[in-house]
Structure 1
Amino acid sequence: MATSNTAPKIIPYNIKPTPLVPNSPKPLLLYKNCFLRDGKVDIALAYDTFTKNGWDPQWVTTYGNTQRSHYHPATHEVMVVLSGPGTIRWGTADLTDDPKKHTYGTPGSDFEDGSVFIDVEAGDLFVIPAGVTHKSFDHRAKDLDPTCLSGGGAHKIEADDPRSFVGALQLRGFTMMGAYPRGMSWGWAEGGQHVGSYEDVWRVRNADLDPVYGAEGGINVYWNRRGSSL
């Protein structure tokens, strides 16, 4: 299992469409206390669990003090917090190009109303349906932009032995690892790009296995309930 003692608790968030963002009929899923050993995330265990369940890690990123709100229109995603704390804003589009304003500004003016803010810590894991916007940031960070630690344009872990590479990383600040269903790669979309075609995003097929639980639990339960998938 994904922790040394107990199975992760799953918290679902139902995030509705906005005028600019499709979000999803499927809930965003937060799994608490994943892969923790002695208070730290076992990155190699996370890597092994994802790959065993058909989700391939493609990046490890340390977040700065802002990020553009974005979503992935053609694939689902799993992100695990390797070190923290940090903050993720879900469900809404940026309304300005000023990075400070669209991160720390006023709802309804600098970003859409209806945001869900979640403060995160090591061991928090999110399974994100295609179309759900997110922006990850650390208000304590000195660096403005995120820094990818794994190369490959954040589309692959650029190392001869990716598992050993991520397991040996020295982490600082708010850092996450992201993975995608095998054969998929992420694309970047921002608010307004799929207005009028939200259902195309909602029809992205479920992965065959949950990234943590495999064939039982997780998306097999929450994404297959009536009304949570198309």
Structure 2
Amino acid sequence: MNRTLGGDPLNIATYLFEDDGRMPNNPDLPAIHYAGAFRDDPLGAEAKLNRNNWRNSWVNGVFAYHHYHSNAHEALAVLKGSARLLIGGENGQTLEVQAGDVLVLPAGTGHKKLGSSADFSVAGAYPDGMRYNTRTGEPGERPQALEDIRRVPLPDRDPVFGEEGPLLTYWSRKRS
């Protein structure tokens, strides 16, 4: 899907991953990569996420081990640098991200950093400022994690575009 932001074309890609036995991923909602969403002001991305009701934000990096959040969806806006991220578990998709990109991960989607530039940093944020957990795919956490994933509500706003963004279309099949 192509869309514009500030007059520039924006490339939006989606990825749907199956449960791999360790990373549950999300059975219904695709991960969304907004390449270049904030290319003109990557350092302003966190504030824009917050204005679009994706809050409880932080700035740091991405763990270099597989993990996921079973109780919240997550938006990752690349503020500086670049990285190679593996999403969807060991057999998932490797994405190259750079300053200005946004990656939206539905609850349960595995992700880890494979490598990055020295200055790589991201802002993470969650719909309605939800609190998030961090799961690593241990067998004992799985039953509760699967239940948590099913219960996570859909956001009412796209983290990049707000009230009329593509996330609302891509994730609409679960909307009531």
Query: Shorter-normalised TM-score: what interval?
Result: 0.7 to 0.9
Asked if residue 87 in structure 1 is aligned to residue 87 in structure 2, the reply is no
Contact 1:19 1:195 in 2 (8 A): no
Unaligned 5+ residue runs, structure 1? Answer: 93-111, 142-171
* Alpha-carbon distance, 1:80 to partner: 1.0
- Ranked by relative contact order (alpha carbons within 8 Å, sequence separation 6 or more), the top structure is 1
What is the aligned partner in structure 2 of residue 187 from structure 1? 133
Which one has a bigger Cα radius of gyration?
1
Counterparts of 1:58 and 1:35, CA distance in 2: 17
2:31 corresponding residue in structure 1: 28
What does residue range 105-124 of structure 1 map to in structure 2 within 5 Å?
112=90, 114-124=91-101
CA distance in 1, matches of 2:147, 2:18: 13
- For 1:120 and 1:70, locate their aligned partners in 2 and report how far apart those are by CA, in whole Å: 18
Structure 2 unmatched runs, 5+: none
Q: Counterparts of 2:79 and 2:4 in 1: how far apart (Å)?
A: 13
How many residues are paired up? 171
1:65-93 Cα deviation digits (max 9, x unpaired): x612100010001001122221111112x
Contact 2:85 2:112 in 1 (8 A): yes
8 Å Cα contact 2:75-2:105 kept in structure 1: yes
Equivalent of 2:102, from 125, 138, 152? Answer: 125
Do 2:53 and 2:129's aligned partners in 1 also have CA atoms closer than 8 Å?
A: no
Partner amino acid, structure 1, of 2:99: A
Aligned to 2:156: 208
Matched, 1:49 2:48: yes
Residue in structure 1 matched with residue 19 of structure 2 by the alignment: 17
Within 2, Cα distance between the matches of 1:133 and 1:34? Answer: 22
Query: Displacement of 1:3 after TM fit?
Result: 4.4
Identical amino acids, percent of aligned pairs = 32
Task: List structure 1 segments (4+ residues) > 4 angstroms apart after TM superposition.
Answer: none
Q: Secondary structure in 2 aligned to 1:178?
A: strand
Instruction: Give the AA of the match of 1:117.
Output: T
CA RMSD in angstroms, aligned pairs only: 2.5
**Residue number among 198, 201, 217 corresponding to 2:146 in the alignment:** 198
- Shift in alpha-carbon separation, 1:35–1:70, aligned structure 2, 3 A: same
Partner deviation per Cα, 1:145-193 (whole Å, 9 max, x = no partner): xxxxxxxxxxxxxxxxxxxxxxxxxxx2x21111111231221101132
CA shift, 1:48, in A, is 3.1
Greater fraction strand: 2
**Matched AA of 1:30:** H
Judged with a 3 Å threshold, the aligned counterparts in structure 2 of structure 1 residues 177 and 19 are, in CA distance, closer, same or farther, namely same
Structure 2: which amino acid aligns with 1:204?
V
Provide the residue aligned with 1:61 in structure 2.
60
Tell me the equivalent position of 1:155.
none
Give the 3 Å change call, closer, same or farther, for CA 4–71 of structure 1 in structure 2: same
Q: Would the aligned equivalents of 1:77 and 1:130 in 2 still touch at CA under 8 Å? A: yes
